Chain A
């Protein structure tokens, strides 16, 4: 049987597209198969209501690795990122807190709640930046593997160790603490004001089924400080035209290097012959063959649905069954006919041109989690709101706006059973709108169209098992050399010629491009001979 492609990439998520671009750049004949009509998966833009472009799921960009942007020349393929101006926390009592790029302004804002916190805040940022700087080393390379006996691995680990210790004992100490503590405990060591800690702690729980007081959540805080736009270690931004803009730029780069990309092409199964993955079968029965297959899907889909358990040994399957997907987030996108004015700080100034957190206190966040623990969505959830149309007129008609709400908690496993989500969906949407309307009284009357994504919807639409936004929680036990399974963090799988290139691989979820890049580079390296 003649092989038609060097590589088929299953799933046109941004990682699949990055992977395709690198492979095609290296001269490989590549085909990307995406089931949806738009590219990007969790990072896609669509226009479900005329004139309004929604970032369907993912809504802010910051982790995307700058060297990938350069190596694929993504700006020339339309990638444009507009920085967020502010982190705004409206409070129910009519007060509010804004954290700006301007450090003096921020200090004055925080000082209204705690003079001490105001002074420590920049020092905290510096400490986190130092740690993020260390972590970045880990992100930009395949995961170090402490279980390996290979001399190259050991040297690599030694180097990392030496690098970490070069930051001095303080950073090392903080780093170890972060690995074990809860976000709130960690922040307690620095700050006294709840008003400051609440919105900061939420970065620890994004995409996990944990609360801000659950151990291990401190580590994920770091992600907030790893953002890098233009070499500056801070900024978060909007992709022009919606988050899908990132994926479209990756897709355009891949095409320019010669990759073929098909949308509305759902893969049904891998073709496996004599213990080797030889290609794929599409939903419509079409068979396509390739030397190698790269899966941008989560491990459950890749190994259980697309390949089949029978091809893997018990230990591997056991590990994957333990791999936590537990979706806990939802997304509500609104098209509104006027600017949603916040009563605590009216006007469409810089304060609303960033991210807006509905996270008024740590207890509020814990209560939201409590409801989820017992199988319900939060009545008063944590919401991360952005209004990208304020800075990017291309996403809404003049004077009208797009309001994007990332919501936690919306557990996949509601007590009625996940298949009952369709009946609960509108109630979930109402809870989000009601919560937000407490801060924006005009919101409800201004809604022209509402789009709700529950974890159940995300599983059905973009194949995120249990709706987990990161294709698996970013908790410590499933990061680094443990992602997705011990011994298989290097993009290969136990099945010959099957590779993984999505967020389920190191370094994990978020709009980074790294899994796709590292998968491609590892594969290309393997062609040059044994490692």
Chain B
């Protein structure tokens, strides 16, 4: 049975819909209202406050921490300056991705790793003889994400430092209402946003401070359904949905390489050895066999299929996570989409799909399955660049 997060006393007051889900063993609000719409729009137009406590967190510290993490991550973590955060993935010895997350250099010898799955055991495999301590901190730290165009205004009010100075993918210690916290300019919505990390004992105090600062800026608590729409718009993958942790796969074909997932840019092969490097050298020269791509699903065709039945076009009211077949122009299946959503801000029907590499070029026309009045039909889907939505304010 899931357990409450440190913010539960507050989130449950607001969650009139009683719509929760189990996120990594915690009660997490899916949507505070019956529909996630309002929360979605708060994230995109004002600001949303999301309880992201269930995200796995792991503290890695000690004289050898920087070199140690560089050995495991595909990026050169030792190069991070104090206060810098890196988004990256890590692989098994065969170059198959285990997970993706952020690595924050909080101090010269102190790092915090976030991940979708617990990562202590995996990291510990490589710690023999290294001067490093690895501790799961998931249950000690409450995490809140303030996301949206007005998140900076809200963060400025609550924090005792000049949040305006905090760059994209940087983190800093700060105080909120007398409580020590870390604030990082990170998030999972593809918008301007901040994440606050706080000792669970003071979690509620921080929640209250943020909510009250957000009053003038339309800040609303937002649930995971709203966040899911935004993360797809942002083109972010979800481990366990769009790809699988290599350690959790029964069959080889379910595993993915960073090059398949579009994580190739993170992989620094030239810097010497790290876990999976040799396999990745081979994979890179061979080229990935399949690609995780963004799709625009043609709306006019979609509407026309419904119109054949005299129906208005139907779409899911929230993001979906069922696997949907994707075909080539000649009708053979060449892949599948594991998540997608209607994007209210882009007015486009989006999906994240895994397709055979030759079909993954930008501009490729594919066929996407749609069920219309109990019939399976297809419409055109075009491969497009990710992120689908990439506002300037995210980095500005």
Binding site for B on A (CB under 8 A): 66-67, 69-70, 74-75, 80-83, 85, 101-102, 105, 129, 133, 166-167, 229-233, 240, 350, 353, 390-394, 397-400
Given the complex, which residues of A lie within 8 Å of B37, measured CB to CB? Answer: 83, 101
Complex: how many Å from CA A220 to CA B299?
28
Closest B residue to A80 by CB, please name it: B345
The answer for the CA separation of A398 and B312 in the assembled complex, in Å, is 40
Interface flag for B313 (CB, 8 Å):
yes
Q: A70-B299, A350-B38 are in contact. List 14 more A-B contacts (CB 8 A).
A: A69-B347, A75-B348, A80-B44, A83-B37, A83-B41, A229-B344, A231-B312, A231-B313, A391-B46, A393-B46, A397-B216, A398-B153, A398-B215, A398-B217
Contact partners of A240 in chain B: CB under 8 A: 45
Q: Which 3 A-B pairs have the closest CB atoms?
A: A398-B216, A399-B216, A102-B34
Is A231 a contact of B44 with CB atoms below 8 Å?
Answer: no
User: Residue on B with the closest CB to A69?
Assistant: B347
- Whether A230 and B347, one on each chain, are in contact in the complex, defined by CB atoms closer than 8 angstroms, is yes
* B34:A231 contact, CB within 8 angstroms: no
- Give the nearest-CB partner of A400 in chain B: B216
**CB of A246 to closest CB in B, whole Å:** 13
Cα separation A350 to B149 with both chains bound (whole Å): 21
Q: Which of B148-199 contact A (CB under 8 A)?
A: 149-150, 153
Q: Taking each of B216, B313, B347, which has the highest tally of chain A beta carbons within 10 Å of its own beta carbon? A: B347
Are A75's CB and B216's CB within 8 A? no
Listed A/B pairs (6) with beta-carbon separation below 8 Å = A75-B346, A83-B37, A102-B34, A105-B34, A233-B312, A392-B46
Q: Taking the complex as formed, is B315 at the interface, i.e. its CB lies under 8 A from any CB of chain A?
A: yes
A167 touches B218 (CB 8 A): no
Indicate if the CB atoms of A393 and B217 lie closer than 8 Å: yes
Q: Which of A392, A393, A397 has the most CB of B within 10 A?
A: A393
Within 8 A of A (CB), among B133-156: 149-150, 153
A391–B37 CA distance with the chains assembled, in angstroms: 12
Q: Counting chain B CB atoms within 10 Å of each CB, which of A102, A230, A353 scores highest?
A: A230
Cα(A483)–Cα(B272), bound, Å: 75
- Is the pair B41, A391 in contact by a Cβ cutoff of 8 Å? yes
State how many residues of chain B have any CB contact under 8 Å with chain A. 30
Query: Of all chain A residues, which has the CB nearest B47?
Result: A393
Residues of chain B in range 24-57 having any CB-CB distance to chain A below 8 Å: 33-35, 37-38, 41-42, 44-46
A230 to B341, CA, bound (A): 12
The chain A residue sitting closest to B313, CB to CB, is A231
Alpha-carbon distance between A80 and B313 when the two chains are bound, in angstroms: 21
Complex CA gap A74/B149 in Å reads: 20
Closest to A103 in B: B34
Contact indicator A391/B216 (Cβ below 8 Å): no
Contact A391 B299 (CB under 8 A): no
**With A75-B346, A231-B315, A392-B218 in contact, do A80 and B300 touch (Cβ < 8 Å)?**
no
- Report the Cα distance A240→B46, complex, angstroms: 10
B342 at the interface (CB under 8 A from A): yes
Is residue B303 contacting chain A, with contact meaning CB distance below 8 A? yes
Bound complex: CA A83 to CA B42 (Å):
11
The interface residues of chain A lying within 8 Å CB-to-CB of B347 are 66, 69-70, 74-75, 230
Expressed in whole angstroms, the Cα–Cα distance for A70 and B346 within the complex equals 9
Residue pair A393, B150 in contact (C-beta under 8 Å)? yes
B310 at the interface (CB under 8 A from A): yes
Question: With A80-B44, A231-B299, A231-B315 as given contacts, are A85 and B218 in contact (CB-CB < 8 Å)?
Answer: no
Quick one: which of B41, B313, B348 contacts A82, CB cutoff 8 A?
Answer: B41
Bound complex: CA of A258 vs CA of B300, how far in Å?
26
A399 to chain B: closest residue by CB:
B216
Give the docked Cα–Cα distance between A167 and B307 (Å).
Answer: 12
For A66, the chain B residues whose CB sits under 8 A away are: 299, 347
- Bound form: Cα–Cα A288–B346 in Å: 38
Cβ distance B318 to chain A, nearest Cβ, rounded Å: 12
**Which of B34, B41, B216 has the most chain A CB atoms inside 10 A of its CB?**
B41
Q: Are A350 and B45 in contact (CB under 8 A)?
A: no
Q: Shortest beta-carbon distance, A236 to chain B, in Å?
A: 13
How far, in Å, is A261 (CB) from chain B's closest CB?
Answer: 23
Q: How far is the CA of A67 from the CA of B348 in the complex (A)?
A: 11
The reply to whether B310 and A166 contact each other, CB–CB distance below 8 Å, is: yes
Residue of B nearest to A235 (CB): B37
Specify which chain B residues have a CB less than 8 angstroms from the CB of A394 in the assembled complex.
Answer: 45, 149
Q: Assess the A230–B46 pair: CB atoms within 8 A.
A: no
Q: Are B300 and A231 in contact (CB under 8 A)?
A: no
Q: Please indicate the chain A residues that have their CB under 8 angstroms from the CB of B153 in the complex.
A: 398
Query: Which residues of B from 326 to 357 have beta carbons under 8 Å from A?
Result: 342, 344-348
* A231: B residues at CB distance < 8 A: 299, 303, 312-313, 315, 342
| Chain A residues within 8 Å of B46, by CB | 391-393
Distance A67 CA – B299 CA, assembled complex (angstroms): 9
In the complex, how many angstroms separate the beta carbon of B342 from the nearest chain A beta carbon? 6
Closest chain B residue to A81 by CB distance?
Answer: B344
CB nearest neighbor in A for B307? A133
The CA-CA distance from A391 to B315 in the complex, in Å, is: 24
With A102-B35, A231-B342, A350-B33 as contacts: A393 and B218 at CB distance below 8 Å:
yes
CB atoms of A399 and B312 under 8 A apart: no
A231 to B34, CA, bound (A): 20
Are B312 and A129 in touch, CB under 8 angstroms? yes
CB-nearest residue of chain A to B303: A231
Known: A129-B312, A230-B342, A230-B344. A392 touches B45 (CB 8 A): yes
Asked if B345 contacts A391 (CB within 8 A), the reply is: no
CB nearest to A163 among chain B residues: B310
Chain B, Cβ-Cβ closest to A389: B218
Listed residue (A75, A102, A105, A233) with the most chain B CB atoms within 10 angstroms of its CB: A75
Contact (Cβ within 8 A) A80 B315 = no
- Shortest Cβ gap from A336 to chain B (Å): 13
**Which residue of B33, B310, B342 is within 8 Å of A167 (Cβ)?**
B310
Q: Which of chain A's residues have a CB closer than 8 A to the CB of B33?
A: 102, 350
Residues facing A in B208-237 (CB within 8 A) are: 215-218
Q: Contacts A70-B299, A75-B345, A231-B342 given: A399-B310 contact, CB under 8 Å?
A: no
Residue of A with least CB distance to B216: A398
Whole-angstrom distance between the alpha carbons of A478 and B300 in the complex?
31
1/0 per residue, CB under 8 A from A, across B303-332: the answer is: 100000010110100000000000000000
**Bound Cα distance from A82 to B345, whole angstroms:** 9
Residues A391 and B215 in contact, CB atoms below 8 Å apart = no
When chains A and B are docked, how far (Å) is the Cα of A230 from the Cα of B347? 6
* Closest chain A CB from B76 CB (angstroms): 36
**Residues in B neighbouring A133, C-beta threshold 8 A:** 310, 312
Q: Which residues of A contact B218 (CB under 8 A)?
A: 390-393
- Measured CA separation A353–B303 after assembly (Å): 30
Q: Shortest beta-carbon distance, A448 to chain B, in Å?
A: 15
- B346 surroundings in chain A (CB, below 8 A): 75
